[in-house]
Every structure is written in C-alpha cells, then in structure tokens.
Amino acid sequence: PTNPDLLYGAGLLAFQFRDFAVAQRDLVAALNQHHPEADFIRFTLGQIAEEQGDTSQALNWYEMVGAGQQFLAAQARIALIDAEAGKLDQALARLATLGSTEDEKIQLVLLQSQIARSSKQPARAYELLSKAVQQHPKSPDLLYERALVSDSLGHAANAERDLRLVLKAKPNDPQVLNALGYTLANRTTRYQEALGYINRALKAEPANPMILDSLGWVQFKLGHLAAARQALEQSYAKLPDAEVAAHLGEVLWQQGHKDQARQLWDNALRAHPGHEVLLDTLRRHPQP
C-alpha cells in the first residue's frame, strides 16, 4: 500500500476511468512517497481538480509544477483558467515571458491567439500574431492562425494573402486548401476558384466532414442545391456542428423546406447556444 510505483500506476488508471476521488487519493499518496515523476503527478492532480470544478485547487497544483517537461503545459493551463475568469491581460502576460526555443515561442503565441479569440478579442489576437510573424516570417502555423483571425474580422484579402503564403510551404495540404477555398466561397464571389481548391482538398481527404461542408457551401453559392444538400447532409452526419447546420438549413430553406430548416436550426441552437454563425442565419430568416 505504500509502494510509490503502484500508487502512481493505480492513480493514473483511476484518472483514465474518471474515478477522480480514487485517482486523487492514490496520486497524492505517490507524491508523499517521493515518486520521481512528481511534476507529472502535480499536473495530473491539477487536471483532476479542474474536472471536479475546483479551479482554485487546480491553480495550486499547476503553480507547484517546477521547471521541466510539464512546466509549459502547467503554465498554459493557468493562463486558460485566468482567461476564463476574465483575466485576459494576466493570462497573455504570463505566456509572453515563456518559451526558450523558437518552436515553444510559436506554440505559446498560438495559444495566446486562441485565448484572445475565445475572449472575443480577435483584434488582440491579430496584433499578437502579426508581431510574432515579424519575428518568425516563415512559420506556416502563425500565418495559418492569422488567416483564421483575419477571416473572423472580415478581412478576406488578408486571410487570402496568408493562406497563399502557407500554400507555398505546404502546396498539397488539404487543411490549407480547404481553408482557402472556404474563405473565397464565403467572403468573395470567386466561387469556381474556390471550388477548385476545395476539390483538391477533398481528393486528399474525401470523408473529411469539414471539407464536405465547404463543398456544400460553395455548391450552394453556385446555385447547385441538390449537390449542396448531398454534401452538407454527409458532413452533418459525421459532424453535427452548428455551422454545418446553418449551411444545411440554408439549402433546405432555398429548396422550400422551411419547416425542416427551422427545426434543424432550433435543434442546433439548443446544442450550441450563442453560436454566431447560427444566430446570424436565424436573424436573416426570422420567424413569420
């Protein structure tokens, strides 16, 4: 009962089975028995506290993680908790001082961007990313993230510029091809060009629901309602996402199935309350 390796193994298994009380008991015991993976145990105990809704205790465990393999992950969790509590400046400042390698610094900026976006401050995310791009101009990850932020800000030209730069580094990447195709379909009238990029992405990943959503959306823009519905229904079956529901409902509405579209949107809104694309769709199609 006092063997640290057995306590460690039992605690991790209990955590995987989501038996958090047993996991916490055994991992604390392993820590008290001086198990060598002390920082990993502290990080896991922080995760357990978060799962139980005790963010104060989670912060205590994460703060105790020392410099080593788990340090950046623990600091990232602290920043995320701070941001969720409305302390965005504090969260971003914590991450800004971390990272010793180029890859670590890039990953931390990406996390800063995601935190700013989650806090509904995309302009702040764009500013952080643009500063990082000046320091790492060839980073496809930074350029891709900035393109997504640009798109959310309605700056289609900036998004297209960055996505084309990423394509130079990753000419056959289906994620990038799909993002460029969707941006062109959603923000411009260059639908045939958009379809070309999306078809290239679909050739690489024919079952990808996000690419099928893009295909359905560009087909809708082209006025090909039957093809649009087929692609979007395939996408929604694999990925019951609010944005896919918004797109599929648009097609159903144009086909005259307004009650079916309304029911789809209402169900999606219950599952994803506050989703911006879905709310915008409902505003454009108000109840009679």
Predicted confidence at residue 245, as pLDDT, reads 97
Tell me, letter by letter, the H, E, C secondary structure of 225-251.
HHHHHHHHHHHHHHCCCHHHHHHHHHH
pLDDT of residue 286: 84
| Joined tokens for residue 68 | 């080593």
Does residue 185 contact residue 160 with C-beta atoms inside 8 Å? no
Which residue numbers in the chain have pLDDT < 70? 288
pLDDT of residue 119: 94
> What local confidence, expressed as pLDDT, does residue 287 receive?
79
How many alpha carbons lie under 13 Å from residue 179 in its C-beta half-sphere?
27
What stretches of the chain show up as alpha helix (H) in DSSP?
4-16, 20-32, 38-51, 55-63, 71-84, 88-96, 102-118, 122-135, 140-152, 156-169, 174-187, 191-204, 209-221, 225-238, 242-254, 258-271, 276-284
pLDDT at res. 242: 96
**Cα→Cα distances 16→11, 28, 102, 181, 270, Å:** 9, 16, 33, 39, 30
SS3 174: helix
